[in-house]
Amino acid sequence: MSITPEERLDVSMTINGRRYRATVEARRTLADFLREDAQLPGTKLGCEHGVCGACTVLLDDLPARACLTLAVQAEGRQIRTVESLADGQELNPLQRAFREQHGLQCGFCTAGFLMTATALLEENPTPTREDIVETVSGSLCRCTGYQTIVSAIEQAAAEGQTDTEGENQ
């Protein structure tokens, strides 16, 4: 069975904890689906060929390029975008650390960095600076020179550690 790019298919997925159902063209990218169909424009498109990382979202908790993923490939999957990160109406510790370390300027690449860093910190709550660079180097930023992004992720990790220690006491 072959599917043409324009053929419309049913898809359902969970985005930021909410269930979405739609009928989309087979060729529709997950990025377009998130931004336009689900009205979650926080995920940005910087290159549309999988290099810059601005469109990184978490697909079943793992970073994925939404520009290279088709919406139909997300069938039945759990997706998290930048819109899921804030704690109610407060920045979460990672977002706060980006602000305090001046880890963003224009803010266009930021969602991708935040999502990649979120996955890193969930998998490894105590990354070294080298771990951070190793993991997050797949995203491009043209404004900051990167060092403050690494520092922000370090700060969030350190604060996460403090929080955990607090909980354990």
Handedness of CA 68, 71, 73, 75 (dihedral sign): positive
Picking from 40, 11, 41, 45, the residue whose alpha carbon sits closest to that of residue 25 is 11
Task: Quote the least distance from Cβ 102 to other proteins, whole Å.
Answer: 5
Question: In angstroms, rounded to a whole number, what is the distance separating the alpha carbons of residues 139 and 110?
Answer: 9
Nearer to other proteins, 76 or 87 (CB): 87
Closer CB to other proteins, 119 or 165, in the complex: 119
Least distance (Å) between residue 89 CB and other proteins: 9
Longest dimension (CA), the chain: 58
62: region left, alpha or beta (phi > 0 left; psi from -120 to 50 alpha): beta
Q: Cβ of residue 23: shortest distance to other proteins, in angstroms?
A: 15
| Residues at the interface with other proteins (CB under 8 A) | 25, 27-28, 35-36, 40-49, 51-52, 54, 81-83, 85-86, 91, 95, 98-100, 102, 104-111, 114, 133-134, 136-150
Residue with smaller CB distance to other proteins, 74 or 93: 93
